[in-house]
Amino acid sequence: MTFKNETEPENLEKNGQHKFLLNMGPQHPSTHGVLRLVLEMDGEYVTGIDPVIGYGHRMHEKIAEVRPAQSFLPNTARMDYVCALPYNHGYVSLLEQMTGIEVPERAEYIRVITVELNRLASHLLWLGTFLLDLGAFTPILYCFDDREHILDILESLTGSRLTYSFHRVGGVYKDIDDSFIEKSREFMKRLEKRFNVYDKLVTGNIIFRKRAEGVGIVTSDIARRYGITGPNLRGSGISYDVRKAFPYSVYDKFDFEIPVGKNGDCLDRYNVRINEMKQSLRILSQAFDMIPEGDIRAKVPKKLKIPKGQSSFSVEAARGELCYYMVSDGTDVPYRLKARVPSYGNLSALAEICEGMLLADLVAVMGSFDLVIPEIDR
Amino acid sequence: MDFIANLPPHFFRIPIALTLVISLVFINALIMVYLERKIAGHMQFRLGPMEVGWHGLLQTAIDAVKLMSKQLIVPDKAHTRLFRIAPLLAFTPAVLPFAVMPFAPNLQAVDINIGVIFIIAMASLNVMAIFVAGWASNNKYALLGAMRSVSQNIAYEIPVLLSLLSAVFVVGSFSLGDIVGYQGKIWLFIVQPLAFLIYFVSSVAETNRAPFDLPEAESELTAGFHTEYSGMAFALFFLGEYTEMFVVSSIATAVFLGGWHGFPLPFFEYSSVVWFLLKTYFLMFLMIWFRWTFPRVRFDQLLNFSWKYLIPFSLVNLLITAVVVKL
């Protein structure tokens, strides 16, 4: 493996500037997970970035080609372990779309409920780690406190806390009961109050605003060129959310808004995510009100033959648009599965956005981007 | 026995004073680390250390034993001698200011007539240690931390000195004993509120504490200047930091908060020491509170804050004080 910067050391001293290479990661407190950045530094200023990925590569896409499609489900949760349920959701929806299985409506509601809970958990984790990157240690423990409640609720339903395999082809694994709804409603009430705490603790803090305002501006042009999706895109003022643009599952039945930012700086991305959490709460309370009675799983043959052809399915994961693309040769084992993950596009824009920045700002921008490296490496 | 009796009294006084000071430094660090972890824990809805001793009281002692038993690993291409000297450099100047610290009316080792200047001079030696540590480690993160530390300390020593000067103008003496003595009637904090504020903010920056902990900013520079240090060498940096916290807080106490003055406590003869320590530890509690509340400032913001706000304001304050005192 060679790097642009390492192969041409003479570049480092041109124009009389004395630059040096700084290796950031894969073990670094703020390259969450296993991202490595080779930085070209001029003192405190970052003049070039080479992201190096692949330290967490587990060949998930290859594994999908050698086993029956339904057996691959647990792997989807391990791509992005922070927000695993949308990965479940996208995969089973793709299989249902290809095989033409009708999903009972109650199952779709349960899917949406679990996915939105998972999105809340993911955004709470992001909030904590973003502020940790800015040097504030305390908020992460407040966020983990809230996130713990979601994990407990999801654990009571799905049996796992992080890598769920809850959505199944044709429905879901288990029905929700009254205690689940009760616990979720209790938690939603609590979280709404907690937003005030976060507002007081973080949003109004002058140091936080100075660190986030006008830092790491993603123009809508950059966002479009690199395929940035999710809250990072909406922070730049482009109102694109798969849940609204191409409604899947039962998302068209809910009344919710897509929060957008204006300037595309870290503060906008922060606000977008905070507001997205509030919208998730709205979706959840509507879903609990509207959920119909009925089956939770359609009849699905044990050996699921996928008709010959190709198809794709997009869902909105916590970090942006997740798209599964599958080619089938008519057997129960897919010929090829490709996952288009949101973090990949988000990470690729980093080099252009962060050039000429202070090292501290680079850390802030990376934190605000909510990168989850294992989903890039897969 | 005659031989011992004939020795000059300094011969006994100095070792005793040194032992007392060094034990105070270590005990202070033990208490502060415990308090820091406990307060941080309670601010974050958790308990903090609970396992060793009652409510984790012995946790820091056990940690100290662990650090002492650990090996000091010198990196491959580090400058070995400087690498080993740096922790001592960090520790020694932090201890020296205790020589002039007025704990109580009769509890001050020496009351030299330039006490304030002496303390400032000793406190600023700390930068040398950090710079040597960062340079000798042969680590880019450590070097970045060291570079930050130097510019930060230069920027923040000026407001510290200027704000102390305005207090000195009011009293008319550099001696800490005189300054505390002057405050029997009125604390200088009331006469010079702006100077106190500027002094306290800059001294938080001087001690490299959050939100100004840029030399060791862990989310940017892993651990900054002490990235490569382990074992007791790392512990000495830690000791230095907590001792410096104590020093800057006790200067603030002595110069602005009336030093040992306070109403006499019932059933206790030495209430002046208690008052001094109470005020000092209250200021240190504020520092801990800052650390667990605020995000870290950025490097340019840090320097701008000093050069654009703290220094001009302290200069204006000094000018006004000088005019008022002259009138």
pLDDT band at A178 (very low <50, low <70, confident <90, very high): confident
CB atoms within 10 A of CB B94: 26
Task: State percent of chain A over pLDDT 90.
Answer: 6
Is A250 among the domain residues?
yes
The H or E element that residue A328 is part of is strand A320-328
| DSSP category for residue A67 | S
pTM of the model: 0.85
How near does any CA of chain A get to the CA of B213, in Å?
A: 9
Q: Does A46 touch chain B (CB under 8 A)?
A: no
CATH code (residue A154): 1.10.645.10
- For B122, residues 6+ apart whose C-beta sits below 8 A from its C-beta are B93, B94, B96, B97
Q: What is the per-residue pLDDT for A23?
A: 84
Q: Are A140 and A132 in contact (CB under 8 A)?
A: yes
B219–A363 CB contact, under 8 Å: yes
B144 contacts A44? CB cut-off 8 A:
yes
Domain that holds residue A307: 60-343
Q: Which of A:139-158 have CB within 8 Å of B?
A: 141-142, 145
Spatial separation of the C-alpha atoms in residues B37 and B242, rounded to whole Å: 13
Residue from A38, A41, A44, A358 whose CB has the most chain B CBs within 10 Å, to mutate: A44
Residues B210 and B290 sit within 8 Å (Cβ to Cβ): yes
What is the SS3 assignment for B260-309? CCCCCCCCCCCHHHHHHHHHHHHHHHHHHHHHCCCCCCCHHHHHHHHHHH
Of B44, B141, B300, which has the smallest distance from its Cβ to A358's Cβ? B300
A145 CB neighbours in chain B (<8 A) are: 45
Q: What is the ipTM of this complex?
A: 0.79
B295 to A211: CB separation less than 8 angstroms, yes or no: yes
Residue B19 tokens, joined: 């032992």
For A332-376, what is each residue's pLDDT tens digit? 888 988 988 888 888 888 888 888 888 888 888 888 888 888 888
User: Is 50 exceeded by the pLDDT of residue A301?
Assistant: yes
Q: Decide: helix, strand or coil at residue A150.
A: helix
Phi, psi of A322 (to 5 degrees): -110, 125
- Does a structural domain hold residue A238? yes
Model confidence over A20-70: pLDDT tens digits?
Answer: 788 887 888 777 778 888 888 887 888 888 888 888 888 888 898 898 888
Q: What's residue A17's pLDDT?
A: 61
Are the beta carbons of B230 and B73 closer than 8 angstroms?
A: yes
Is A254 domain-assigned?
A: yes
**Cβ–Cβ contact A102 with B under 8 A:** no
A30, A45, A137, best to mutate vs chain B, most B CBs in 10 Å: A137
Instruction: Tell me which residue in B45, B217, B294 faces A207 most closely, judged by beta carbons.
Output: B294
Residues 199-228 of A with CB under 8 A from B: 201, 205, 207-208, 210-211
Q: CA–CA separation, B165 vs B162, rounded Å?
A: 5
Tell me: the pLDDT tens digits for A66-111? Answer: 988 888 888 888 888 888 899 989 999 998 888 888 888 888 899 8
Q: Is B31 on the interface with A (CB under 8 A)?
A: no
Residue B87, both tokens: 């922790």
Residue numbers of chain B with a pLDDT score lower than 70 = 1, 107, 109, 267-269
pLDDT at A201: 81
Tokens, residue B171:
């009293």
pLDDT at res. A6: 45
Q: Are A33 and A56 in contact (CB under 8 A)?
A: yes
d(Cα B282, Cα B276) in Å, to the nearest integer?
A: 10
Q: How confident is the model at residue A1 (pLDDT cuts 50, 70, 90)?
A: very low
The answer to whether residue A36 sits within a structural domain is no
pLDDT in tens, A105-142: 888 899 899 999 999 999 999 998 998 888 888 888 88
CB-based burial, A325-363: b 16+ in 10 Å, e otherwise: ebbbeeebbbeebebbbbbbbbbbbbeebbeebbbbbbb
User: Nearest residue of A to residue B212 by CA position?
Assistant: A135
Q: Which residue of A lies nearest to B42 if distances are taken between CA atoms?
A: A138
Does the CB of A93 have a partner CB in chain B at under 8 Å? no
Helix (H, G, I), strand (E, B) or coil at A264: coil
Q: Cα–chain-centroid distance for residue B108?
A: 18
Cβ of A138 and B296 within 8 Å?
no
Lookup: tokens for B274: 């208690």
What is the per-residue pLDDT for B50?
A: 85
Please give the backbone phi and psi of residue B165, each rounded to the nearest 5 degrees, phi first.
Answer: -60, -40
Q: How far apart are CA B54 and CA B127, in angstroms?
A: 38
Number of domains in chain A: 1
Residues of chain B neighbouring A22 (CB-CB closer than 8 A): 140-141
Residue A43 lies in a domain: no
Cβ atoms of residues B131 and B149 within 8 Å:
yes
Most confident by average pLDDT, A282-286, A301-305, B110-114: A282-286
Characterise B301 by phi-psi region: left (phi > 0), alpha (psi -120 to 50), beta (else).
alpha
Going by C-beta distance under 8 Å and a sequence separation of 6 or more, which residues neighbour residue A1?
Answer: A52
Residues of A in contact with B295 (CB under 8 A): 131, 134-136, 205, 207-208, 211
Task: Name residue, tokens 């504030």.
Answer: A136
Enumerate the residues of chain A whose CB falls inside 8 A of the CB of residue B44.
137-138, 141-142
| C-alpha to C-alpha distance for A340 and B306, rounded to whole angstroms | 48
**Tokens matching residue B222:** 């892993």
pLDDT band at A16 (very low <50, low <70, confident <90, very high): low
Q: Tell whether A366 is covered by a domain.
A: no
Secondary structure in 3-state letters for chain B: CHHHHHCCCHHHHHHHHHHHHHHHHHHHHHHHHHHHHHHHHHHCCCCCCCCCCHHHCCHHHHHHHHHHHCCCCCCCCCCHHHHHHHHHHHHHHHHHHHHHCCCECCECCCCCCCHHHHHHHHHHCHHHHHHHHHHHCCCHHHHHHHHHHHHHHHHHHHHHHHHHHHHHHHHCCCCHHHHHHHCCCCCHHHHCHHHHHHHHHHHHHHCCCCCCCHHHCHHHHCCHHHCCCCHHHHHHHHHHHHHHHHHHHHHHHHHCCCCCCCCCCCCCCCHHHHHHHHHHHHHHHHHHHHHCCCCCCCHHHHHHHHHHHHHHHHHHHHHHHHHHHHC
Indicate yes or no: CB of B43 within 8 angstroms of CB of A142.
no
Cβ neighbours around B264 below 10 Å, total: 11
Distance CA A336, CA B76 (A): 48
Position A249 in a domain: yes
- The pLDDT value recorded for residue A3 is 46
**Band of residue A7 on the pLDDT scale cut at 50, 70, 90:** very low
Q: Where are the alpha helices (DSSP H) in A241-372?
A: 242-245, 266-290, 342-348, 350-353, 359-369
Q: What is the DSSP letter of A344?
A: H
Residue A13 is predicted with a pLDDT of: 54
Indicate whether A221 belongs to any domain: yes
CB pairs under 8 A between A and B: 79
Give CA–CA dist A129/A143, Å, rounded.
Answer: 9
* pLDDT score of A360: 85
